[in-house]
């Protein structure tokens, strides 16, 4: 895994942005959310805690996987979520109904074909800050964080 490409630096998504991502995706207890590049696990954990959704955090850094697992236990959602030390470019996302991303635009473009191929119709993809080239989003939302920073969220729905 050490040879896996760097798809983005670890930058935690502000909690108010996490909330908006989950709202935009219309997450429910029936969803299975995959967060590619899950960092400290906050998106997966919040989806489980607030909505009862099951989730999988995919994170290449084993230290962040350990930290995420600890956070899930602390928040008492470890029965709903898991974290895997895998490469986001090669992980199977076919069980997902929602995929969240906060990676580079280049990483998004590399992931796009597998997302479109593996995800079932109706699945939602939410990207924080970066688009996916000429794949037209269903919605684009701009929000300000509590620090006054602007964040852009992109939503795509898988159609066939």
Which residues are CB-neighbours of 30 under 8 A, at least 6 positions away? 53, 97
Per residue in 94-116, pLDDT tens? 999 999 999 999 999 999 999 99
Looking from the CA of 30 toward its CB, the CA atoms found within 13 Å total: 3
The domain of 39 spans 15-133+140-157
| 112 assigned to some structural domain | yes
The CA distances from residue 149 to 21, 38, 144, 153, 154, in Å, are 16, 21, 5, 13, 17
Number of domains comprising the chain: 1
Per residue in 37-79, pLDDT tens? 999 999 999 999 999 999 999 999 999 999 999 999 999 999 9
| 69 assigned to some structural domain | yes
* CA–centroid distance for 72 within its chain: 16
Domain containing 94 — which CATH number?
3.40.50.150
| 5 assigned to some structural domain | no
pTM: 0.93
CA atoms of 151 and 5, how far apart (whole Å)? 25
């Amino acid at each position: 895994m050490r040879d896996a490409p760097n798809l983005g630096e670890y930058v935690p998504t502000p909690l108010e942005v996490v909330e908006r991502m989950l709202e935009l995706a219309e997450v429910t207890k029936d969803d299975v959310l995959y967060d590619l590049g899950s960092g400290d696990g906050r998106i997966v954990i919040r989806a489980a805690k607030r909505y009862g959704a099951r989730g999988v955090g995919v994170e290449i850094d084993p230290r962040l996987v350990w930290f995420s697992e600890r956070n899930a236990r602390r928040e008492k959602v470890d029965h709903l979520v898991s974290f895997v030390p895998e490469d986001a470019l090669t992980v199977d996302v076919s069980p997902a109904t929602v995929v969240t991303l906060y990676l580079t635009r280049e990483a998004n473009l590399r992931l796009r074909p597998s997302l479109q191929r593996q995800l079932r119709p109706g699945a939602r993809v939410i990207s924080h800050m970066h688009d996916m080239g000429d794949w037209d989003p269903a919605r684009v939302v701009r929000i300000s964080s509590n620090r006054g920073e602007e964040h852009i969220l992109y939503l795509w729905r898988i159609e066939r």
